[in-house]
Structure 1
């Protein structure tokens, strides 16, 4: 194991390369969102896309589909409803709300 760490290069590690790539993609997306005068974040947009794709998804389904924890999804849905992007009526009658 010691030999591996002697030759380790952070800049060449897959995890670091993926992190840099994701950071660059998010920066471009954030720039595009700002240019469009959008009042939603990238993460909120992902939630909206998941809802548009299949209206009536439960929060648990949204959490699984978007790889976000349920607390984060709940906060985003609250913010998006305040911005009038959807009505919580689509969730009525679901157990996990």
Structure 2
């Protein structure tokens, strides 16, 4: 819902998020393998959990990118008035 306080041309920086997520995915995978080889099971598990979270985030980003742009109201569309909260 538009309230009039947000920019009408705002877009989510999905491509930047994609590359930062890939970077994090590489580091999490490297950390998991390195800590596992060093015998640090706790740190390897932590990096593995982070790897899983990053993978889910990457899947969401790719999904949003494949959906393409969504309708955004133009400058000629006035902002909606915020709903009035009625207290009983």
Q: Tell me the TM-score normalized by structure 1.
A: 0.30
Q: Tell me the TM-score normalized by structure 2.
A: 0.33
Which one has the bigger helix percentage? 1
Q: Based on CA coordinates, which of the two structures has the bigger radius of gyration?
A: 2
